[in-house]
Structure 1
Amino acid sequence: MNNMFRLRILINKDSVVLSKRMKINHVLGYSSMPENLTKATEYTTTYQPIADFYAGKSVFVTGGTGFLGKVYLEKLLYSCKKVDKVYLLVREKKGHNITKRIEDLFANPLFSRLKKTNPEYFKKVVPVSGDITLPNLGLTPKDEQTLIDKVSVVYHAAATVRFNEPLPVAMNINFEGTQKVLELSRRMKNIEAFLYISTAYTQTQRKVLMETVYPPPAKEEDIYKFIEEFGNDAKETEKYLCDHEKPNSYTFTKALAESYIAKNHGDVPAVIIRPSAVVSIKDEPLKSWLDNWFGLTFYFYTAAKGWNRFNLGNSNNSVDLIPVDYVSNFTIIAGARAKSKYNEVQVFNTTSSSVNPVTFGEAHKYFSEDIISRGKNDMPCPALIFVNSKAILNIGAFFCQTIPVHIADMWLKMTGKKPKFVKLAADFTELARMADYFTSKNWQFRADRMRELFDSLSPEDKRIFPCDPTQIDWSEYLRDYGKGVRKYLKPK
């Protein structure tokens, strides 16, 4: 039976599957497709496993000491065992040189699995002293040349994620830092992938976010003109961001960096990863692990404790959560498939709500169960109440949050204990007001390309790098998330 006749049989048998597979392989640049398209377990010898792509290659990582960066680093070393070197950009901090910071990094329980299986993997990590806010990333000429000669994959996650960061600071880190990393990547001799970690909230003025790059929120020269005139003026900055349809400096600078990459990546295969709200580990290496109070973690925790009750929005609005291990797994996958026949940036929304939605009300209920069931709530009858009026919000917050925390602190003083709730209330009130913009809206994050890429993997790669949001049982996952906060953050 000749090849043409065999192809006709396949087309007649399952033309829909064939069309889909041909499209996927064309986009990914494969030279052929699975021989038996009705059996996902059969692949031609031209299929390259994800780990094989990284074999013998070196990776340059920024933001590797951050929440997502740690998980990415651990997974890369554990599942891509033949990776050559991982050059980790590390900024010296007061009293801690880069050697000490690397020691502290690997002392994290997150890396326990790696230590048990093969502690020699850590020798693959090469710390590089630098800072994305400095000219030329603060690299020495020797380190710079090493990166140019050796690196094939760049993972850029270094950023400030503070919503209320002054615009000049956010521009310096999130935008100008990205410019420098991309410029260095363009000079690398063996570059095969530039991976940029962005956010799904770069285009919050749109109800539907597609997997594409959008126009920049403003012209660079206009932004710097504004900064020169108003500097760190918070009120003027808020007005400026509002005029450009952005809720904060974080989403503004991330959107600007995306458009810059699309325009200036040149011959570098560039990938933009847009995760939604990144939360605790779902599966591995350490179930329910997380290391920070950012964003929704503090939001849900304060509600479970009874400190945060009234919020703007609707309990039936979707909250788009994505486990941190899912984001790191997909980023590794995307890096291995970055090369394309088309000179365009590949964009992937690593989100969950379009295929497996969960509401704010449901998320609060499941997350809070661990705290409430053990009687660890500080205020009676904790609840997350959503209203649509700012007037009602302020009245409810005053009677149900402000007055109770003052009474609680008075009781602590009377019993000889140090008051704490008023200060905590100020913190979570500030966070809740910043979150109002997000809790009061519903977005549709399309993740079709993400799903297509994941579906194109072999069963073995799907097992090694799980990142399918449809496989998340929210009731189970969010309960574990709450327990993870108690286990990994509460002691702090």
Structure 2
Amino acid sequence: MSANTMETDEQFTYNSPIVNFYSGKSVFVTGATGFLGTVLVEKLLFSCKGINNIYILIKQTEDLTIEARILNYLNSKAFHRVKNTNPELMKKIIPICGNLEDKNLGISDSDMKTLLEEVSIVFHVAAKLIFKMSLTAAVNINTKPTEQLIAICKKMRRNPIFIYVSSAYSNVNEQIIDEKVYSTGVPLETIYDTLDAKNTRLMDIFLDKRPNTYTYSKALAEVVVEKEFDESAAIVRPSIIASSIREPIPGWLSGSHGFPRVVEAACKGLLLRWHGDGTVAFDVIPVDHVANLIIAAAWESNERRLMGNKGVKVYNCCSGLRNPIDVSTVMNTCIKYRKYFGTRTMSIITPRFIMKKNYFLYKLLYFTYHTIPAAIIDGFFWLTGRTPMMLNTLHKLRKLSSVLEYFTLHQFLFLDSNVRGLLRRMESTDRQTFNFDVTEIEWEPYLQNFVRGIANNYNYSM
């Protein structure tokens, strides 16, 4: 029996429309080296073995060459099961040197020719998740590259499906967020002209009650997708992306993310008082759920195109509506499993994470339980000839937690009828292989693995 026959039989055996859709197709992924991007690429390799090539955009840095970066990437633990089952699949990952902020994304003519000829699906995952960027920086890295990428897609011979990964919080100036693209009020051309003129006085008008420039730049990019992409496309909006629930490893994490750092600080006893409403549903979503939804959304976009249904479809990839868990429960459940940090904790007994909505009461508790003990420890360090560090550490943690406070002081409702509809339309085999059903999440074991993942993957000084 030939290899091609075996592959075809395998597809029919598994009866997977999604796997069949990806068979023989090449994809282009921006942000592939990031947390979500890595899980997406690994899942495509592992579950869609008939995929042709996966081209990933990689930026050369001052510290590492492209060759060094791709080597580090391919050596990630995330790819362990691919290497164990079929290491030859790793050869399908092909780096494309580029830079989102450069013209044509910094892609060389020869690489561009390859992409234009071969790519059938484009996943735009790349973003800079820094809340306190200037508006100019946020637009230049999160909005304008989306325009450039869409312009490239329009030149691609295979008329690609386009998937843009946004954020569920891109429109938190609304309390109920539906699966649609919201107007940002000000035309894009006006925003660009204002930024070029260095006029920052209109910032508050532009943001329109959004908490930061990151969420605004993602909302602008959504507008770009709807305006510029006249073929079938999709926008996937994940909420707070946390560790994997199953794939590639339960509890897998990579990189340095704000929320896991807060959890680590709480588990170590360094941050146990937080300004926020503990009853607010904390919308956490496993990274592999997001990757699976992205993969399935591309398949459904193609199905819509075959039926003549073009345009942009939005998917709110969130847990708060179907399987809510409040922020106090999240944090205190995580602290229950602080044992994974071993001796790197501040107390023997299990502490309790306390949130206060009243700012004055929060400041009083914070001063009593954090500032005073830190000052005493620093005083002891100074007297014994060591470098005082606790107050400085506390200051860094306070800045870190403050950027998340907005999301623990406000309750949002993310509607998800498109997500549920996609689940219903998938074959049972695909629902199992590319599962993103949040109603099946059991929070206690998931958060246990989350804490284990933080303890195993993070190595930085608090």
TM-score (norm 1): 0.85
The whole-number CA distance in structure 2 between the counterparts of 1:378 and 1:389 is 26
The whole-number CA distance in structure 1 between the counterparts of 2:120 and 2:233 is 12
Three-state SS of the structure 2 residue aligned to 1:251 is helix
Deviation string 1:420-477 (CA, Å, 9 cap, x unpaired) is 4323212221122221211001111111211111122222112211211111100111
Q: 1:192 to 1:48 in 2, by over 3 A?
A: farther
Pairs within 5 Å for 1:14-413: 49-230=17-198, 239-240=204-205, 244-267=208-231, 269-339=232-302, 340=304, 341-371=308-338, 376-378=344-346, 382-413=351-382
C-alpha displacement of 1:396: 2.5
C-alpha displacement of 1:177: 0.9
Q: Would you say the 8 A contact 2:271–2:370 is kept in 1?
A: yes
Q: Alignment RMSD, CA only?
A: 2.2
Q: 1:257 to 1:305 in 2, by over 3 A?
A: same
Three-state SS of the structure 1 residue aligned to 2:170 is coil
2:48 alignment partner AA? C
Three-state SS of the structure 2 residue aligned to 1:202 is helix
1:343 alignment partner AA? K
1:338 alignment partner AA? S
Three-state SS of the structure 2 residue aligned to 1:346 is strand
TM-score (norm 2): 0.90
C-alpha displacement of 1:329: 1.0
C-alpha displacement of 1:312: 2.6
Deviation larger for 278-287 or 408-417? 408-417
Q: Would you say the 8 A contact 1:149–1:190 is kept in 2?
A: yes
2:269 alignment partner AA? G
Q: 1:433 aligns with which of 402, 419, 434?
A: 402
Q: 1:395 to 1:194 in 2, by over 3 A?
A: same
The whole-number CA distance in structure 1 between the counterparts of 2:387 and 2:247 is 39
C-alpha displacement of 1:191: 2.7
C-alpha displacement of 1:143: 1.1
The whole-number CA distance in structure 2 between the counterparts of 1:418 and 1:51 is 57
Three-state SS of the structure 2 residue aligned to 1:337 is helix
C-alpha displacement of 1:179: 0.8
1:266 alignment partner AA? D
1:116 alignment partner AA? N
The whole-number CA distance in structure 1 between the counterparts of 2:246 and 2:448 is 14
Three-state SS of the structure 2 residue aligned to 1:127 is strand
Three-state SS of the structure 2 residue aligned to 1:56 is coil
Q: 1:425 to 1:129 in 2, by over 3 A?
A: same
Q: Would you say the 8 A contact 1:186–1:266 is kept in 2?
A: no
Q: Would you say the 8 A contact 2:317–2:416 is kept in 1?
A: yes
Q: 1:417 to 1:458 in 2, by over 3 A?
A: farther
Aligned residues: 443
Deviation string 1:313-360 (CA, Å, 9 cap, x unpaired) is 221110000000110011111111212232320110111111101011
The whole-number CA distance in structure 1 between the counterparts of 2:254 and 2:206 is 30
Three-state SS of the structure 1 residue aligned to 2:169 is coil
The whole-number CA distance in structure 1 between the counterparts of 2:452 and 2:368 is 30
1:455 alignment partner AA? R
Deviation larger for 218-227 or 115-124? 218-227
1:72 alignment partner AA? L
The whole-number CA distance in structure 2 between the counterparts of 1:64 and 1:469 is 24
Q: Would you say the 8 A contact 1:413–1:419 is kept in 2?
A: yes
C-alpha displacement of 1:240: 4.9
Residues 1:482 and 2:451 are matched in the alignment = yes
C-alpha displacement of 1:63: 0.3
C-alpha displacement of 1:417: 5.3
2:275 alignment partner AA? L
1:15 is matched with: none
Q: 1:486 to 1:318 in 2, by over 3 A?
A: same
The whole-number CA distance in structure 2 between the counterparts of 1:350 and 1:77 is 22
1:32 is matched with: none
Q: 1:423 to 1:92 in 2, by over 3 A?
A: same
Q: 1:176 to 1:106 in 2, by over 3 A?
A: same
The whole-number CA distance in structure 2 between the counterparts of 1:417 and 1:466 is 52
Segments of 5+ residues of structure 2 without an aligned counterpart are 1-11
The whole-number CA distance in structure 1 between the counterparts of 2:203 and 2:352 is 31
The whole-number CA distance in structure 2 between the counterparts of 1:88 and 1:329 is 18
The structure number with the bigger radius of gyration is 1
Three-state SS of the structure 2 residue aligned to 1:114 is helix
The whole-number CA distance in structure 2 between the counterparts of 1:257 and 1:163 is 16
Segments of 5+ residues of structure 1 without an aligned counterpart are 1-43
Q: Would you say the 8 A contact 2:230–2:311 is kept in 1?
A: no
C-alpha displacement of 1:273: 0.3
The whole-number CA distance in structure 1 between the counterparts of 2:336 and 2:20 is 42
Q: Would you say the 8 A contact 2:186–2:206 is kept in 1?
A: no
C-alpha displacement of 1:175: 0.3
1:20 is matched with: none
Deviation string 1:182-217 (CA, Å, 9 cap, x unpaired) is 111111111331010100001112111111111125
Q: Would you say the 8 A contact 2:142–2:217 is kept in 1?
A: yes
Q: 1:452 aligns with which of 418, 421, 436?
A: 421
The whole-number CA distance in structure 1 between the counterparts of 2:252 and 2:381 is 32
The whole-number CA distance in structure 1 between the counterparts of 2:202 and 2:66 is 35
The whole-number CA distance in structure 2 between the counterparts of 1:105 and 1:192 is 26
Q: Would you say the 8 A contact 1:349–1:446 is kept in 2?
A: yes
1:221 alignment partner AA? E
Q: 1:465 to 1:416 in 2, by over 3 A?
A: farther
1:18 is matched with: none
